[in-house]
Amino acid sequence: MTSANEPTAAPAVDVQQLVADNDLGGRSPGPAVGLFLLCVALAWSLFQLWIASPLPFTFGILVFNDTESRSIHLAFAVFLAFLSYPAFKRSPREHVPVTDWVMALVGAFCAAYLFLFYRELATRPGNPTDMDITTAVVGMVLLLEATRRVLGLPMVIVAVVFLTYTFGGRYMPDMIAHRGLSLNRTMSHQWLTTEGVFGVALGVSSGFIFLFVLFGSLLDKAGAGNYFIKSAFALLGHMRGGPAKAAVLSSAATGIISGSSIANVVTTGTFTIPLMKRVGYRPDQAGAVEVSSSVNGQLMPPVMGAAAFLMVEYVGIPYIEVMKHAFLPAIISYIALLYIVHLEALKANMVGLPRRGTATGGSRLLSLALTISGFFVLCGVVYWGVGWIKNVAGDAAIWIIGAGLLAAYVSLLWFGSQQPELPLDDPEAPVFELPETAPTVKSGLHYLLAVVVLIWCLMVEQMSPGLSAFWATMFIIFVMLTQKPIQAFFRGAGGLGAATKQGVLDLIDGMAAGARNMIGIGVATAAAGIIVGTVSLTGIGLVMTEIVELLSGGNLMLMLFLVAIISLILGMGLPTTANYIVVSTLMAPVVVQLGAQNGLIVPLIAVHLFVFYFGLMADVTPPVGLASFAAAAIARTDPIKTGITAFAYSMRTAILPFLFIFNTQLLMIGITGPFHFALTVISAIVAMLVFAAATQGYFLVRSRWWESVALLLVTFTLFRPGFWWDMVYPEFQEVPAAQMGQLIEEAPANASKRVWIEGTNLDGQDIRKGVLLPLGAPGTVRERLGNAGVSAIAQGKELLITQVKFGSVGDKLGIEQGYRIVSAEVAADRPDKEWMFVPAIALLLLVVALQRRRFTPTPKPVARSA
């Protein structure tokens, strides 16, 4: 229900068409062409399932290596891009022009060139023929055109700028100049090797991003999306601001299904946004809550955004490690968003929707406690039981476990079939009460088994992400083919043939939708490969280190602000995946190196997550945050205002990257035991809730300005207790030079030692700085310094640096010949920094006491009518 004082509605927008235009191309050709495109998309999905499965190696047929797989993957993406995405807004959408057919066929041939002529190319590496170069040039042009259609002009501009830099290096300013490269060398590097277009990014897209997107698409077509949304509303809709809290929870759940922020907004927003407006949220607030929760869906393990899978290759760690590091920031970010919508509800004195049932609060609490405890008991039984079966049954264990999974699936289907079937959402229909909690939750528990299979394969069996997604996808395919006929049998409804047919049609539709969803990611990763190829071909990455260090003045915090701004600016035109590839390729090594120069160990995963977070913020930030536009279209309000409000709600997501750079315990790095883990989690959650209260200007009551400042101080102290503690008790203590040699020799293998260096640089400036030197394998002082590319001799009580190897770690740290190592540092014996939590909690309690004096209970509000 809208009121007279609401802002003027934005022009009506077809939300589904907005999603189709951005994610699927928006073209709807005739039946014959539509069927052909469906078959191509289906063939792409089947190809990806085949190469991910063990079957090629089992039967020894159709075995493709990584290069061939990437080539075929891009051929499918380019072919579908030209046929699905019109060239211009006014281009026909009802049929495919002849020019698009020609470009699709030629583009697919150029992309598949590495597969079609793989053996010939392998016999003449570095010696391309005219045909090779011609194919590469045409393929590059058509890839850029496909990128323009799918992703827009900004990505093309970025790629063209890097190509221009490759060719015109000799005409660039001295700081970034290079000798320039020929057309043959550039095209060969970019198109005929795995250094450019067909590089790591496209390999990750082909290797396992596709499978995760397909898994999500099939899970949605099976009915899990509707189940997650209805369950979230049944559980939370009765609370203050309940629809907004349900939007947050359902977006966290559907984040498993959708890799697109826009699609996530539309999937849950068509239902949640009208309900949020109904209970009292302004249209821009309702849209902003949905945007914030949907964007955060890409942060939530186990299935994160596509860029998270690239971290596996770029950082060189298993995906389970990426999930471990990303888990706590994602959880506290969602908890804080729940708290923000609660505060907004308190400000407006809102009330939730009425729910069915007469259960008392005590019985509901008991039911919740039993459910949670039962869940943990079940997890323990399954974990230890499966381990016992493996030990006892040996090779037959897989069949026993499979039979147990089948039995669990059939049992849950029978259990769910005893409940009424969940109706599909109708966002136009008024909602007077919430669905019953127990029947709603029970009706779709079998969907969770697919997620359990995925998590089990990733975390317990520790399979590769691609193989884990394959088995999870195969299970959800089995679910789609069997759930409807089995449910019809259990309900005695008959029509088993029709139910089976509908399951097959849903499966085909889901597999085709998964392929269509991958067009943008496939093209984005290929186009981003141009930037990566330019960096490896020209050495611009080393130059960027000098430029950024000059701009930041060697200040790590200023450097991080520059990286954040670059990510946001690029994010205005690039999708999250491409943005991540560009910024992480150029800036991640620079941040790590500058941290080392400042004596701070910055884990590479922390920098990559930093870039990932700010890349996601671009979907929120006006003026071009597409997720905000989609939400504003549903809420019928101003998209710019929605984007600004969403950015305010997302500030908690924006500060987290800065915090976990300096406090890596938030990424589960450096946790020493269960108590330390619990303390880290609790303090992080409290800190984020306090930050939300500070930024919203409301805690128990509306905060005064100095109370908000005090809450921000509490937040900072809980997140970074070491900042204050280091002022009282320094973290390190200097060791005299006389003991330095012994410390270096006794340091553990592959340890880093913080040393102080003095000297005069080439500009005549006196330098004194602390750097982290990696010492490598055990050995003498000379050998261990040599591992960092530094040669030194004893000079009195100091070490005189006689040589620094070019390109070594020492060179990158800014160490020069003639500098002196004057001392080293060791960790100081001091009390734990967590003692700073005591004054922080005391200050928080003071604010609570002051606000309680102003707190007056408000009359119980009355729910608005529909």
Over residues 748-774, mean pLDDT: 78
Residue 384: count of CB within 10 angstroms of its CB? 10
Give the mean pLDDT of 40-55. Answer: 92
Give residue 753's Cα distance to chain centre: 33
- What pLDDT, on a 0 to 100 scale, did the predictor assign at position 171? 84
255 pLDDT higher than 70? no
pLDDT value of position 713: 94
Burial class (CB in 10 A: 0-12, 13-18, 19+), 672: exposed
Highest mean pLDDT among 33-47, 224-238, 494-508, 848-862: 33-47
- Asked if 135 and 191 count as a contact pair (C-beta separation under 8 A), the reply is yes
Distance between CA atoms of residues 799 and 472, nearest Å: 58
235 versus 429: the higher-pLDDT residue is: 235
pLDDT in tens, 428-469: 555 666 777 888 888 888 888 888 888 888 777 878 778 888
**Six-digit token string for 22:** 């951005």
* Between residues 432 and 483, the one the model is more confident about: 483
pLDDT tens, residue by residue, 178-205? 887 888 889 999 999 888 899 888 888 8
Indicate the average pLDDT of the chain: 81
Looking at residue 303, what is its pLDDT?
A: 66
Provide the pLDDT for residue 13: 46
Half-sphere exposure of 853 (CA within 13 A, CB side): 5
| CA-wise closest residue to 825 among 741, 756, 747, 751 | 756
Region 633-651: what's the mean pLDDT?
82
Residue with tokens 């393929």, as numbered in its chain? 139
Mean per-residue pLDDT, 547-564? 78
Q: Where are the domains of the chain?
A: 15-202, 671-731+831-866, 733-827
Tell me the pLDDT band of 742, cut-offs 50, 70 and 90: confident
**pLDDT top residue among 133 and 554:** 133
Does the pLDDT of residue 822 top 70, yes or no? yes
Q: Is the model's pLDDT at 600 over the cut of 80?
A: no
Q: What confidence category does residue 815 fall into, taking pLDDT thresholds of 50, 70 and 90?
A: confident
Instruction: Give CA–CA dist 559/662, Å, rounded.
Output: 13
CA distances from 761 to 767, 768, 793, 803 (A): 7, 10, 19, 14
> Residue 20 pLDDT > 70, yes or no?
no
Query: Greater confidence, 33 or 623?
Result: 33
Q: What is the mean pLDDT of residues 162-169?
A: 88
Q: Average pLDDT, stretch 265-276?
A: 72
Q: Give residue 55's pLDDT.
A: 87
Percent of the chain with pLDDT over 70: 87
Which among 393-402, 453-462, 539-548, 550-559 has the top mean pLDDT? Answer: 393-402
For the four alpha carbons of 119, 121, 122 and 127, in that order, the dihedral sign comes to positive
Contact present, 839 and 728 (Cβ < 8 Å): no
pLDDT of residue 737: 65
Report whether 790 contacts 808 (CB < 8 A).
yes
pLDDT (average), residues 475-486: 91
Out of 105-109, 553-557, 653-657, 660-664, least confident range: 553-557
Assess whether pLDDT exceeds 90 at residue 324: no
How far apart CA 133 and CA 671 sit, in angstroms, is 53
Contacts with 681 (C-beta within 8 Å, 6 or more apart), sequence order: 328
Task: Give the pTM.
Answer: 0.74
- The mean-pLDDT minimum among 423-432, 546-555, 779-788 falls in 423-432
> Confidence class of residue 333 from pLDDT cuts 50, 70 and 90?
confident
pLDDT at 8: 38
Taking the C-alpha atoms of residue 171 and residue 180, their distance in angstroms, rounded to an integer, is 8
pLDDT digits (tens, 9 = 90+) for 88-137: 878 777 888 899 999 999 999 999 999 999 888 888 887 888 999 999 99
- With a cut of 50, say whether residue 12 has pLDDT above it: no
Asked whether the predicted pLDDT for residue 473 surpasses 60, the reply is yes
Top pLDDT among 485 and 596 is at 485
H or E element in which residue 769 lies: strand 766-774
Determine the pLDDT at residue 158: 84
pLDDT band at 26 (very low <50, low <70, confident <90, very high): low
- The string over 56-70, giving b where at least 16 C-beta atoms fall within 10 Å of a residue's C-beta and e elsewhere, is eeeeeeeebeebbbb
Determine what percent of the chain is predicted with pLDDT higher than 90.
14
Predicted confidence at residue 714, as pLDDT, reads 93
Q: Record the tokens describing residue 151, joined without a space.
A: 């992703």
Mean pLDDT is highest, among 322-326, 354-358, 388-392, 409-413, for: 409-413
Q: Token pair 């990584």 is at which residue? A: 66
**Tell me, what's the pLDDT at 391?**
82
SS (H, E, C) 428-469: CCCCCCECCHHHHHHCCCCHHHHHHHHHHHHHHCCCCHHHHH
DSSP string, 770-831: EEEEE--SS--HHHHHHTTTEEEEEETTEEEEEEE-TTSHHHHTT--TT-EEEEEEEE----
- Render pLDDT for 666-717 as a digit per residue (tens, 0 to 9): 888 888 888 888 888 898 899 989 998 998 888 888 888 899 999 999 999 9
Bridging pattern class, strands 732-735 and 790-795: unpaired
Neighbours of 484 (CB within 10 A): 23
Q: Cα–Cα distance between 663 and 606 in angstroms, integer?
A: 10
Return the higher-pLDDT residue of 16 and 51: 51
Dig out the tokens for 307 from the structure: 């860029």
pLDDT at position 845 is 93
**Distance separating alpha carbons of residues 307 and 169, to the nearest angstrom:** 30
pLDDT of residue 597: 67
Q: Say what the pLDDT of residue 560 is.
A: 84
Structure tokens given for 799: 């070490």
Asked if 76 contacts 44 with a C-beta cutoff of 8 angstroms, the reply is yes
pLDDT, position 352: 67
